[in-house]
Chains A and B, each alone.
Chain A
Amino acid sequence: MPPQQFASLDAALKAHATRQPDAQVLLFVAADGSASGLTCASLNDRALRIAQGLVQRGLGPGEVIVLLLPHSPDLVAAFWGGIYARALPAILPYPAASVTPETQRAQLTTLARRAPVHHLLTTPEVRRNLDPVAAGVQCTVHDLESLLPTGDGPVGPLQMPAAPRSPAYVQFSSGTTGPQKGIVLGHAAVLNNIRAITQAVELRAEDVVVSWLPLHHDMGLVSGVLLPIVTGNLAVLISPLDWVKDPGLLFRAIHEHRASICWMPNFAFNHCVNGLRESERSHLHLESMRAFYNASEPVRLDSLDLFYEHFHPAGLRRSALGTSYGMAEVTAAVTISAPGQAAPVDWVSIDSLQRERQAVAQAPRAAGAMPLVSSGRPVAGVEVRIVDEQGSTLPERHVGEILVLSNACMSSFLPALDTPSATAWVRSGDLGYLAQGELFVTGRIKDLIISGGRNIHPEDIEAQAQGVPQLRPGRAAAFGVEDPASGTEQIVLVCETRSPLAPHDYWAVVRELRHRTQQSLAVALADVRLVEPGWIIKTSSGKIARSANREKYLSEISTSGGAQEAGHAP
């Protein structure tokens, strides 16, 4: 069913539930291969009952309801229940087993300080952890088991379709210490983007989407849940936690369900190669895949090459390696590469790119040239332009900030302060250039580290050094270092010590930093270096100059030939 028929997300699901109630819309595949699915009718029914339960317990129209549930049919049903209740569902990552109840409570408190969160739906276990602070932050915590109403409750307002311009849900853009700004997206905007994606990928009725992306991620939610439900295509979903430990799950699901489309970040292409068990390599069948979209992290040609080299014998076509660029502020997709062909590669002069911010075309593999992969062409309803620091539009092949104008633009932030108008160009914070209509993304303006698909703010890591007595306060720098083997950035932390440390103490401090970073941020540091006072470079205004510190670190390890030097290590 073409998406343009629907004026709101709930109208789409209700229509499918009526016309093709028994059609399977979502299939959750577990690590052992077992699957639990939802038909259009079962999803609709469960969503309605959740909506009724929430409304009975005080959820009002326009109120935010945070969903803290494991990757499961229940999570999707709860999301649609929020939509049906005319509230604003917002999916956040379910706490890992290692996150202590105290940390969970602190996270809720921090969240409630940032945005008005009056309702939260979670598991009974997490509810028990959060209850002690819930009242204090004016949040009602529900759990699914005690929520579902007995008997038939009133269904009046839930049956009316939502107005297109009304807000549909909230997408939190992820940070490591917790969600950043909440982005409110309206029904019409989301449907615009779904329609644009459908056109750009030339979606067919028989296409099957396969995804392991987390549902708290904009690309994961839109490509894995919203798009398939609106278009009526089947989506096969794998938990990211399962996939990380066993990327072969993706290939088994592709083969079993004849999947044809998959969106995943650059690092996933490397991990599929590095983490695939030997015994599985001979049983792969990827002929059904007509498109892998490398999206939501900078695209690396060597990752695509590696993936192709390993899976070409299993039927993977080069033309199936596509790319996409997007952001939550405009629902999801900004650009998508043309279907049926590999995303174009632009070989450019490294020197011109780094020093003059210009993409000067070179012959493929020429000396001093580097390849950049196109992220595709703007999808329907979207315009892209490149601007300099002053906001003036730059010509082709000049690198500047990527600005986006989209008919899938957010309605407001949550809370609604500094809300851009829907007709305004949205600043992406990313750098890139246009060449013959193709968008090439070259980097990030700020120091954000993107490692394994996660946005990690250096400040959060540097903060772990605070309170460690041997370290100088405020003298730590965290940065990402590109690592071709993993196809993503690895994270390095450098900290100044007050005085030279004996080897035993040195390693104790390093262990402590790694431990803290893991506990608070779930981040594993690739390298931790303790250095002498004065090593860290700061700007004249006293800010940590992360790029400069990264360059210094890289030059030191290349000259010394080892990772642990600087007069402190054994």
Chain B
Amino acid sequence: MKADEIKPRLREFLLKDLLRNPTYPLTDDEPLITGGLVDSFDLAQIAVFAEREFKIYLPDSDLTVEAMDTLDRMAEQIAHRAGP
């Protein structure tokens, strides 16, 4: 699975279920964790979503600021775990 396929569904989850703000102008490279939009609790929920939606398991070691701070990076991390 490619990051481009993952991004739209991830974006929808973030806006609808996490940020609860469907009209928020979320950009692909916006710093979400360091920017204060997403916290550690949300990371757990993102992992749950990724497991359910993409059938992959994100271990704790993947849930870091470096790996998950932007929509781009989250999608890449998920794609990495999903394989081809």
Asked if B23 and A562 sit within 8 Å, CB to CB, the answer is yes
Contacts of B12 in A (CB 8 A): none
Asked if A246 and B25 sit within 8 Å, CB to CB, the answer is no
The verdict on A244 contacting B44 (CB below 8 Å), with A523-B36, A524-B38, A564-B23 known, is yes
Residues of A in contact (CB 8 Å), total: 37
Q: Which residue of A lies closest to B62 (CB)?
A: A245
Judge whether B13 is part of the interface by a CB distance below 8 angstroms. Answer: no
- The stretch from A423-431, A472-480, A509-517 touching chain B is A509-517
Contacts of B63 in A (CB 8 A): 245-246
CA distance in complex: A436, B38 (Å): 43
Asked if B45 and A277 sit within 8 Å, CB to CB, the answer is no
Contact of B47 among A242, A275, A518 (CB under 8 A): A275
Complex interface bits, B11-51 against A, C-beta within 8 A gives 1, otherwise 0: 00000000011011100000000111111111111011001
Contacts of B82 in A (CB 8 A): none
The verdict on A275 contacting B41 (CB below 8 Å), with A31-B60, A564-B21 known, is yes
Contacts of B65 in A (CB 8 A): 97-98
CA distance in complex: A563, B25 (Å): 13
Contacts of A276 in B (CB 8 A): 48
Q: Which residue of A lies closest to B44 (CB)?
A: A275
Query: Which DSSP category, helix, strand, loop or mixed, fits chain A's interface?
Result: loop
Contacts of A519 in B (CB 8 A): 36
Complex interface bits, B60-76 against A, C-beta within 8 A gives 1, otherwise 0: 11010100000000000
Asked if B45 and A274 sit within 8 Å, CB to CB, the answer is yes
Contact of A563 among B21, B36, B40, B41 (CB under 8 A): B21
Asked if B34 and A452 sit within 8 Å, CB to CB, the answer is no
CB distance from B41 to the nearest CB of A (A): 6
Asked if A515 and B35 sit within 8 Å, CB to CB, the answer is yes
The verdict on A245 contacting B44 (CB below 8 Å), with A278-B51, A524-B37 known, is yes
Contacts of B61 in A (CB 8 A): 31
Asked if B44 and A518 sit within 8 Å, CB to CB, the answer is no
CA distance in complex: A278, B47 (Å): 10
Contact of A277 among B35, B36, B48 (CB under 8 A): B48
Contacts A245-B60, A524-B42 known; list 17 others, CB within 8 Å: A31-B61, A98-B34, A244-B41, A271-B41, A274-B44, A275-B41, A276-B48, A279-B57, A515-B34, A518-B34, A524-B39, A526-B20, A527-B21, A563-B20, A563-B23, A569-B23, A570-B25
Residues on B facing A (Cβ under 8 Å) = 20-21, 23-25, 34-45, 47-48, 51-52, 57, 60-61, 63, 65
